[in-house]
Structure 1
Amino acid sequence: MSAGGRSNGVSDGERRDGEEGEGEGVRRLEETLRLVRFCRGLRWDDLPEDVRKRARICVLDFAANVYGSLELAEVRAVAEYVRSLRAAPEAAALACGYRTAAPLAALVNGTLAESIEAQDGLRYGGNHPVSAVMPAALAVAEAEGRTGREFLEALVAGYEVANRIASSVHPLHTLSGFLPTGTCGAFGAAAAAARLLGLDEEGMTNALGIAGYLAPISMAEVLMGGFTAKILQGGQGALAGVVSAYLARAGVSGPPYVLEGSELKGGFTQITVRGEPNLEKITEGLGERYTITDMYLKPYSACRHTHGAIQAVLEILGDGDVQAGEVDKVEVFTYAMAVVAVGKGLGDNESFVSAQFSIPYVVAAALLDRELGPRQLTAERRADPALRELMSRVEVKLDEELQKVYPEKTASRVELVLRDGTRLVRQVDIPKGDPRDPMEEEDVKEKLLRFAGSRDRGRLEELCGTIRRMEEVADIGRLVELF
C-alpha cells in the first residue's frame, strides 16, 4: 500500500502514460492522470504574473462575498446549524465567530461564497469555482498549518481542475439537469485539498476518484425553482472534496478513470451529459493557458445574465438627475438566454434566489437604491411595495441583433421611458468584470468595503493588505484571523 491509498497493482514505473493494466482491461487515463500530474507539479514561482495576480484578486473577491452573504438570514441559519454540531475546531467558519472540523468549515465557507450570487465565474463552463475550491483549500490549509504560498498553489490547481472539467461538459451538463458549481467544483476542491495534504500521484488520483463518488448532484431544479438549498451547492462540493482528500490519505481508493469512465459507462462525463462531452478541453493547453485568467468577476449580487441591464440602469442614473418616480416604464432588450433564464418578475412569496435571477426585480431595485448588492436581496427589501410596483413596469424583450452577437457578447439595452415622454437609452455589450473589461484589485476592494457594511474599516484594510502579499504569509491562519 502506498502513502496515497490502496495500490492498483501497477507501479508508476510499470504504468505507461495514459494506460492501466493490460489486455481487455486497458483503460485510458489520459485526462485524469494528466490533471493529477499537472496539479502536483505546479509551482507558484513558475506561474505567469497575470495568473498570480488573478489568484490574489479571486481571494479578495471571495472575502467580499463572505461578508455580503451574512446579510441573509438563511445563510446565518446554515452557519448556526454547523456551530451546533460542536465538531473539532480545525478551521474557521469565516466571520461567524467559531471553528469547526475542516470539512464543515468548507461547507459553511462555500455557502458564504455562493449565496449572494456575486461570485466569480467561467463563461464557457457555466461554473463558479470559488464556491467549492476556495473554501476547501482554505479549510485544509488552516487545518494543516500551510503557508500562503502553498494555499495559492493549491487554489490555482483546483481552479484549473474545476474549470476544465466544467468546460468539457458545457452546456450539455446544465441542459441535462446539473449545476457544475457543485458537481465539477468537487473535483477542484479535492485536487486543492490533496495538494495541500501532500498526496502522491496515486493518492491524488484516488482523491479525484472518491470526489466523483461523493460529489453533489446539484440539481438544476433547485435553482430554477428558486429554492434556497441552491446556496449549498458550492459548500457541498467543497465538503465532498475535503473529505475525499482525507479519505484518500487514509487509504481509501477511487476509480483512476473517474472522468473518462470505463466500458461500464459510469464515468463522470458519461453519466452527467446527454450527448458527447469534449474531453479534449480537460487537458488542452494544460500548463500553458490558465483558466483563472478567463474568470469574470461580478460587481452586482445577481445572475451574470442580469448584469448588462443593471449596469445600463446605473450608468443612466449616473449621467443625470433621474429619479425613480419619474419613470413610467422600463424596457430591457437582450438575448434569448437572458429572456428565458432571468426575464420574469418576482412572485409574492419567492425567495432571494429567484430575485437574483430576475431582470425586472434587479432593475427596479437598482433604480430605487442606485446599487445592487446584498441588502437588495433581504426579505424586507423584496417585500417593499414601491419596489414591487416599479418591477411590474419593467418589460424584458428579445432583441434579434443582440441575439446575433451572443455568446461572444452578453449585451443588454435599457430604455427608460419617463412620464414626460423622454426616452433614456444605454446599451452595455460586455458587462464590467469580464476579462475584456476586468475588475481590477481596487474595484474588488471597493466591492469588499461596500459588502462589508459597518465592519471595522481598519481591520478590512489589514485583510486587503494581507491578501495582496499572500505568498509571504507564513501561516494561513493569520489571514483567517482577520475575517
Structure 2
Amino acid sequence: MSKPLLSQLAERLARPVGESDRQRARLHLLDWLACVAGGRDMEAGHLASALSGSGWGRSTYVGNALEMDDVHRTALLHPGPVIWPVAMSMGSAPLSARLDAAIRGYEAMIAVGAALDAHHYAHWHPTTTAGMIGAAAAFGSLIGFAPVEYANAMGNAASVSGGLWHMRHDDVLTKQWHIYHAVRTGRDAALHVHYGATGPQGILEGAQGLFEAMTAHPTRLREAGDGWLIHEVSFKPFAACRHAHPAIDAAMQLREQGELRAPFKIETYADALTFCDRPDPQTELEAKFSVQHSVAVVAAGRDAAPADFTMQAIAELADLRSQVSVSEDPAITARYPKHFGARVNGLELVDTLGDPERPVSDDLIVAKMQTLGAWGGIADADRAAEMALRGDDPAAIDAMLEDWLA
C-alpha cells in the first residue's frame, strides 16, 4: 500500500536545500518586499496595522494588495504573499533558515495547488486552499520538522482549507483576509504539531478528503525531480491581474514597434475573460481585473504601474477602453494554464514576460522594488534590495518591515 500523498510530499520537504535555490529565493523575497512596500498605504495596509502587532503579521494584508505578487501558472496560485510572512515570522531564525523555509513552503503549496483542477479554480481560491498547506510546511521548516511532523501539520491545515471566489464580484478586502487566514491557520497547524498534535495524512485523497470535496478530476502532486518548484514561479511586472498580463505584454511589444493602433482586438484564453472581461471598470480593483483597461493603459503610453489603475486613470482612459474588443481563442485556451497567452491586433504571445521561458532580470526586480517603494512612499528601496539579494541580517529586514508597516 502506497504512502499517503502528504507523507510522500513531507519526505520531499525534508531534503537539503542548495545555495542556488537560496539565491532564487532571495529574488522572491525582494519581489515580496516590493509588493509590501507598494501596498503599505492602501486600505488593506491600514487595516493590517490595526490587526497585528508585528511587521510580518501586518504584511499578510498587503503582500497581494497591488496584484503584483508572484504566481505559479499550472497551480494558478500566488505563493509569495502567503509563504514569506510565515518564513519571516520567527525572529530568532537566521536568514538561511528563512530562505529554506520559503523554498519548502513554495514546494508544498505548488505541489498541492497543481493537483487541483478547473472545477476547483472555478469556485475556490487556490492561493488559500493550497496556501494553508504551504504555510504549515514553511513554519515546520523553521521549527525543524521531521517528515511525519510535516505530514501531520499539512494534514490539519488541509482539513480546514479553502476560500470561495465569490468575493471577486465585490470591491471588498476578502482576498486579503484569505491570505491572513492561510498564513495564520497554516502556521498554527505547525505549532500545534510541534506541541504534540497529530493530523490526517490521507486528507488529500481520502474518501471524505479535500480532492473528493473540492475537485472533479484531481491530478497527481506536482514534482520537480531533484530540484525545487520555486524555480517554476513567474514574476509579475505589471500592476494588474495575471490574466491580463499576456495582453499587456503583447500590446507593449506592438507599441515598441510603432504598431499599436485602435481599434484593439484581443484574443485570449477563457479564464482571462472569466476574470478580466470588464469593459467599464468602476473601481481601482475592477480596473486591475479589466483586460480592456489594461490594454488602454499601454495604448496611452503608460507602463501598467499602480498609478495607471487609479480612479483618475479609469476616467482618463474611458475613450481608449471603448475601442477594445475581447474574445476567446480556443487554441490559446488549449495551451492554458501551461502557457498564459494572448493575441493583440494579430501579434500572438505564447508566454508572458516574467515566466520561466521569458525570465525577468535581477535588475528588473530591483527596479520593481524602486518603483513600488516610491509608490508606497518609502525611502530605503535600494537598501531593501541589497539586504534581500546579498545581505545576511534578517533582524534588519524585520526592523524595516516594522518601520514600513508601523
Same fold (TM > 0.5): yes
CA displacement 1:286-321 (0-9 Å, x = unmatched): 5x1321111111101212221121122233333449
Partner of 1:133: 83
Residues 465 and 443 of structure 1, relative CA distance in 2, 3 Å threshold: same
Partner Cα distance (2:244, 2:169) in 1: 15
Residues 32 and 407 of structure 1, relative CA distance in 2, 3 Å threshold: closer
Partner Cα distance (1:234, 1:201) in 2: 25
SS at 1:333 equivalent: strand
Tell me whether 1:368 sits opposite 2:300 in the alignment.
yes
SS at 1:168 equivalent: coil
Note the 1:120-159 alignment, pairs <5 A: 120-139=70-89, 141-142=90-91, 145-159=92-106
Runs of 4+ deviating beyond 6 Å: none
Alignment counterpart, residue 377 of structure 1, candidates 303, 309, 327? 309
Note the 1:406-417 alignment, pairs <5 A: 406-415=336-345
Residues 52 and 76 of structure 1, relative CA distance in 2, 3 Å threshold: closer
Residues 431 and 321 of structure 1, relative CA distance in 2, 3 Å threshold: closer
Aligned-residue offset at 1:110? 2.5
Residues 276 and 407 of structure 1, relative CA distance in 2, 3 Å threshold: closer
Partner Cα distance (2:130, 2:144) in 1: 22
Structure 1, unmatched stretches of 5+, are: 1-17, 19-27, 84-88, 94-104, 416-424
Partner of 2:178: 233
Partner Cα distance (2:218, 2:286) in 1: 30
1:291 maps to amino acid? L
Partner Cα distance (2:306, 2:274) in 1: 24
Alignment counterpart, residue 312 of structure 1, candidates 250, 259, 277? 250
1:77 maps to amino acid? H
**1:71–1:375 Cα contact (<8 Å) kept:** no
Tell me whether 1:92 sits opposite 2:84 in the alignment.
no
Note the 1:83-482 alignment, pairs <5 A: 83=52, 89=53, 91-93=54-56, 105=57, 108-139=58-89, 141-142=90-91, 145-175=92-122, 177-215=123-161, 217-225=162-170, 227-261=172-206, 265-273=207-215, 275-278=216-219, 280-282=220-222, 284-285=223-224, 288-320=226-258, 328-348=262-282, 351-368=283-300, 370-382=302-314, 384=315, 386-399=316-329, 402-403=332-333, 405-415=335-345, 426-453=347-374, 455=377, 459-470=380-391, 473=392, 476-482=394-400
Tell me whether 1:31 sits opposite 2:5 in the alignment.
yes
SS at 1:55 equivalent: helix
Aligned-residue offset at 1:482? 3.1
Partner Cα distance (1:334, 1:354) in 2: 19
Q: Aligned-residue CA RMSD in angstroms?
A: 2.6
Partner Cα distance (2:145, 2:317) in 1: 53
SS at 1:453 equivalent: helix
Residues 248 and 302 of structure 1, relative CA distance in 2, 3 Å threshold: same
SS at 1:396 equivalent: strand
What TM-score, normalized to structure 2?
0.89
1:333 maps to amino acid? E
What TM-score, normalized to structure 1?
0.76
Alignment: residue pair count: 400
Aligned-residue offset at 1:347? 4.0
**2:307–2:313 Cα contact (<8 Å) kept:** yes
Aligned-residue offset at 1:408? 4.8
**1:306–1:358 Cα contact (<8 Å) kept:** yes
Aligned-residue offset at 1:461? 1.7
CA displacement 1:149-178 (0-9 Å, x = unmatched): 101111111111000001111333213x11
**2:281–2:287 Cα contact (<8 Å) kept:** no
Residues 466 and 347 of structure 1, relative CA distance in 2, 3 Å threshold: closer
Partner of 1:70: 40
Partner Cα distance (1:152, 1:170) in 2: 29
Partner Cα distance (1:180, 1:328) in 2: 36
Residues 431 and 266 of structure 1, relative CA distance in 2, 3 Å threshold: same
**2:73–2:338 Cα contact (<8 Å) kept:** no
Partner Cα distance (1:285, 1:438) in 2: 18
SS at 2:267 equivalent: strand
User: Highest CA radius of gyration, 1 or 2?
Assistant: 1
Aligned-residue offset at 1:328? 4.8
CA displacement 1:196-234 (0-9 Å, x = unmatched): 12234443333222212343x310111255543123322
**1:110–1:235 Cα contact (<8 Å) kept:** yes
Structure 2, unmatched stretches of 5+, are: 402-406
